[in-house]
Structure 1
Amino acid sequence: MLEDQFIEVDSIRTRYWEAGTSGSAVLLLHGIGCSVHEWESNIEVLATRHRVFALDLLGFGLTDKPAHEDYSLRRLARFVLDFMKVKGITQAHLAGNSLGGRLALECAAIAPQQVASLLLVDPAGMARRETLFEFRLATLPVLGEMFTRPSRLGTRMLWRKAFADPSFATEALVTQKVAYARLPQAQSAFLKTLRGFLDFWGFRPELVEQLDAALPGIHAPTLVLWGRDDRFVPCAHAEVLRRRLPNVEVQIWDHCGHAPQVECSQRFNQAALEFWQRGRIHGSDAVYSSNSIEE
């Protein structure tokens, strides 16, 4: 049974889950509007071979949501790296879904020595266009505040689009999403994060350009998994990573949407474990140190 744990990161009370007692470190990064619960079907399986951490990002889940915080992409990446520092993780395999995938790439660009490998799951922000209209609409002043007001109906409709099989958008999932979205400052943190990442036309061009320039310098072994039926971020965006990353493998999965770790959890767990095993063979490992000493 996974238990909520809390730690101070940059004076931010941060909720995380931890599982596994040995092996290389793995850090799981969720997408926008999500939480550690996105990894419920994965963390204990992955922990059979690794020490696994999942955290609620700044502004999401049960992590604090300061009203005057900077929710930019760079700030969120720094928050992830600072979490690693506080936990004594000197190097980790980073796995991220959607916004979490983009954050994993940002961490690799900022601190390459701390990233053993990248597992990018339907990562957001690879190209300018073709983002789900509902997200682009939420970037508009006033309309965004109205559109993102938490409701069961709106949440259900959105998350049914997240999966190739809409039945994965269960009533329990809807209840959980709405409960987190109704927490104090949650809507504000969501909109600040979204608007720092998107405008009405798609992913912000300056962030897309920065990523395009950074990708050739990211040499961490990278596995990209993308659901062919992703309606949030189309799998065609994987071509950017295939062309620009020097050490990448891309897999497009049929009958899977925006969250393969949920909808295709067994296949995801197997692919992740096999990828990290290959990483060790090729000399890239993740180091966990309880006293933060580099090996």
Structure 2
Amino acid sequence: MIETGSEAPGAPSAGTSREAAIPVLLLHGATSLHDIWSPLLPLFSATQPVIAMPLPGHLEGEPVALDRPVTIERLADDIIAIMARQGVYCAHVVGNSLGGWLALELARKGFAASVTAFSPAGSWPDERAFLRIARAMVFACRVFPLLRPLMTPLMRLTAVRKLLFSSQMKYGERVSVAEAQRMLLGVCHCPVIPPLIASFGNGGGLKPMPPLDIPVHIVWSGEDRVLPREVFMPPMQQALPWAAYSILEDAGHVPMYDQPDAMVAIIERSIAMATAD
């Protein structure tokens, strides 16, 4: 868990502004880790509390019991419980990929003061599109632990980092050696992914949601190769036709290293809309 900002996160209290009291909660994608938000953290206002949390069932995240079905709703409930133990009962929720889907579910559950979702998962046009993504994720979780001893030293080569992350981001060479090795470690420690994927295949995609009284901004990366916007954004728009949509140009599916300044500007606009009198 990474926490920044001079204000302690938590619920609004007497004598504090809503903007100062409500933190930004950053949720990463499947097989990723909370470090992925590092390029954004120095760009937020020093007075804005920011929490980058590891998702349950991921590296450094709280364990998830696998003796019962793992669903997106259950993960959202787990996040709410984790935040409650830290005294946080509301947040401006920002998510990428799986984290974007979770951000929307947290809004459905009344936890979010605003939502900014970057290339959120949860919508697919047909079973074929779903299976392509699902098989790739399960394959990575099974194969990367076997290849890690070979791949870890290769991360020292800029060309290798750029190639390895080419499907995720446009400028993979911006990832440092240490960050790349951490990312690889993260892929190797995601026990929650196979059962979560199984729940998606049982009709567990994003369910339509009625209009909410909070800002919900869905931002698709212009060069997303994992969830190409021409395929995956239309069904999202059908499920949430009332949300705001925009395109983040010159960025891949995981855009934190591609466009950190633009991402923070978008997030701050959502916060400003939520806190406007």
TM-score norm. by structure 2 comes to 0.78
Check the 8 A contact 1:160/1:168 in 2, yes or no: no
1:100 matched to 2:99? The reply is yes
After TM superposition, the structure 1 = structure 2 runs for residues 50-69 of structure 1, keeping only pairs within 5 Å, are: 50-65=48-63, 68=66
Counterpart of 2:181? 175
1:102 to partner: Cα distance: 0.6
Counterpart of 1:123? 120
1:40 to partner: Cα distance: 0.4
The one of 193, 197, 210 aligned to 2:196? 193
1:18 matched to 2:15? The reply is no
In structure 2, the CA distance between the partners of 1:248 and 1:137, relative to structure 1 (3 Å rule), is closer
The one of 162, 165, 178 aligned to 2:168? 162
SS in 1 for 2:257: helix
The code of the aligned residue for 1:40 comes to S
Counterpart of 1:30? 28
1:77 to partner: Cα distance: 0.6
The code of the aligned residue for 1:62 comes to E
Query: How many pairs does the alignment contain?
Result: 251
The code of the aligned residue for 1:63 comes to G
Check the 8 A contact 1:73/1:103 in 2, yes or no: yes
In structure 2, the CA distance between the partners of 1:128 and 1:69, relative to structure 1 (3 Å rule), is farther
SS in 1 for 2:191: helix
SS in 2 for 1:100: helix
1:254 matched to 2:239? The reply is no
Deviates more, 1:222-231 or 1:158-167: 158-167
Structure 2 Cα separation of the partners of residues 27 and 144 of structure 1: 26
What are the superposed Cα offsets for residues 216-275 of structure 1, whole Å, 9 maximum, x if unpaired? 244421111111110111113333444443652211122211022331001111121122
Cα root mean square deviation, aligned: 2.9
The code of the aligned residue for 1:228 comes to G
The one of 259, 273, 276 aligned to 1:278? 273
The code of the aligned residue for 1:188 comes to P
Structure 2: tracts of 5 or more residues without a match: 8-19
Structure with more strand by fraction = 1
Structure 2 Cα separation of the partners of residues 80 and 73 of structure 1: 11
Structure 1 Cα separation of the partners of residues 38 and 94 of structure 2: 14
In structure 2, the CA distance between the partners of 1:176 and 1:245, relative to structure 1 (3 Å rule), is same
Structure 1 Cα separation of the partners of residues 67 and 39 of structure 2: 31
Check the 8 A contact 1:160/1:166 in 2, yes or no: yes
TM-score norm. by structure 1 comes to 0.73
1:235 matched to 2:229? The reply is yes
What are the superposed Cα offsets for residues 79-116 of structure 1, whole Å, 9 maximum, x if unpaired? 1111221111222111000000111111222x22x211
Structure 1 Cα separation of the partners of residues 218 and 77 of structure 2: 23
Structure 1 Cα separation of the partners of residues 64 and 236 of structure 2: 34
Q: Give identity over the alignment, percent.
A: 23
The code of the aligned residue for 2:124 comes to A
Deviates more, 1:53-62 or 1:172-181: 172-181
Structure 2 Cα separation of the partners of residues 118 and 159 of structure 1: 26
Structure 2 Cα separation of the partners of residues 108 and 38 of structure 1: 22
In structure 2, the CA distance between the partners of 1:69 and 1:59, relative to structure 1 (3 Å rule), is farther
